[in-house]
Amino acid sequence: MSDGQDALTGWADPVPTALLVLADGTVLEGSGFGATGAAEAEVCFNTAMTGYEEILTDPSYSGQIVTFTFPHIGNVGVNDQDEETLGATENGVRGVVLHAAITAPSNHRAKAALGDWLAARGIIGIGGIDTRALTAVIRESGMPNAVIAHDPQGRFDREALKARAAAFRGMQGTDLVPDVTSAERSDWDETVWSLASGFGRQDAPKHRVVAIDYGIKRNILRLLADAGCAVTVVPASASAEDIMALEPDGVFLSNGPGDPAETARYAGTVIREIVDRRVPTFGICLGHQLLALSLGAKTVKMHQGHHGANHPVKDQETGRVEIVSMNHGFAVDPGTLPPEAVETHVSLFDGTNCGISLSDRPAFSVQYHPEASPGPHDSHGLFRRFVGMIEADKASGKLRGAR
């Protein structure tokens, strides 16, 4: 980082106090903030202009370094209401890359400054980076493996960091769900936030839903509760017998990090048994991929992934286009779906699969995040669709004895 950059970015360290070292040996110099030390991870970029705290607490980012394309990150501080993590907080996003300096918080909800919050959570930050150029590299060459390092004195063994980045295994073939799932079963009744009253409580639920936690987000649980569900969260290691013992009216498959094919080694048989027993099932993101894998489909690693809050998705059944939030580096290969799995949604950016529905059993899933907080909210109706599926199943009473 040259002195000429300081006026533009606001970072003013006389020597680099942070490095982003890519697996190909490229070294980006900048100013460090947040936690000190070094961490290896995959580098992605996120195009959202709001919701940086929700992004940085999304367990789906476990094992990744997030580059924000929006330059003003941290200006509204952080608070304890916008966090999305439900389980362990120490195994989430590994680092953050920014262009402009973090300014003092300016928001009535702020409880702390972003830099202090990152340090408390063990997340390393590097600022003063040309994030547009880094984003272009990711678009052209794919999401690189890297090491992010921060030392206030600027003392780095660059060759050791290069070797560490080159040796990092990356996301493919890695199951990260055990790092972020809940340790034990728990109940959830908190509903969505409103400016007038904050969070509410669901005190008259109509349906019982079991949510399998592969790295679930809090706002998913709030929207399930808001839709009239009493929600029980179970760890990713829960067996089909464990889940069915709770007598669910519906089962939810959550988002999460890592290679879905690895998680499916143990989750796939559980999901298949639940679906085969005709329990209404709804999956989001990793949950979507796991549902497809449980049916015999395959997933593929994406070139640059989808990370942002402005992705257009077409509903193939209605023709409606929704603007949605996405965060995934793997996708379902639609050519491997079985005949009973109908492709319901596609990305209008690149045509990748974004949803399926089963024609012979009550189950559906989407690749994107309909619960997105702070937004967009185009797809909130999917939670009502899930509840409608539960109600139809209850009304029919089909195969209830088989459960």
> Which residues does the annotation mark as catalytic?
285, 369, 371
Containing H/E element for 332?
strand 321-332
Containing H/E element for 266?
helix 260-276
Cβ pair 134, 67 in contact under 8 A: yes
Task: Report H helices in 131-233.
Answer: 131-141, 158-167, 177-180, 218-226
Containing H/E element for 242?
helix 240-244
Phi and psi torsions of 187, nearest 5°: -105, 150
266 class by beta-carbon count within 10 Å (0-12 exposed, 13-18 middle, 19+ buried)? middle
Mapped onto helix, strand or coil, the DSSP state of residue 153 is: coil
For residues 293 and 298, what is the distance between their CA atoms, to the nearest angstrom?
6
Closest CA to 156 of 259, 40, 60, 37: 37
Q: What is the DSSP annotation of 69-120? A: SSS--STT-B-SSS--B-S-STTS--EEE-SSPPPPP--TT--B-HHHHHHH
Rounded to a whole number of angstroms, the distance between the first and last alpha carbons of the chain is 63
Cβ pair 18, 32 in contact under 8 A: yes
Mapped onto helix, strand or coil, the DSSP state of residue 24 is: coil
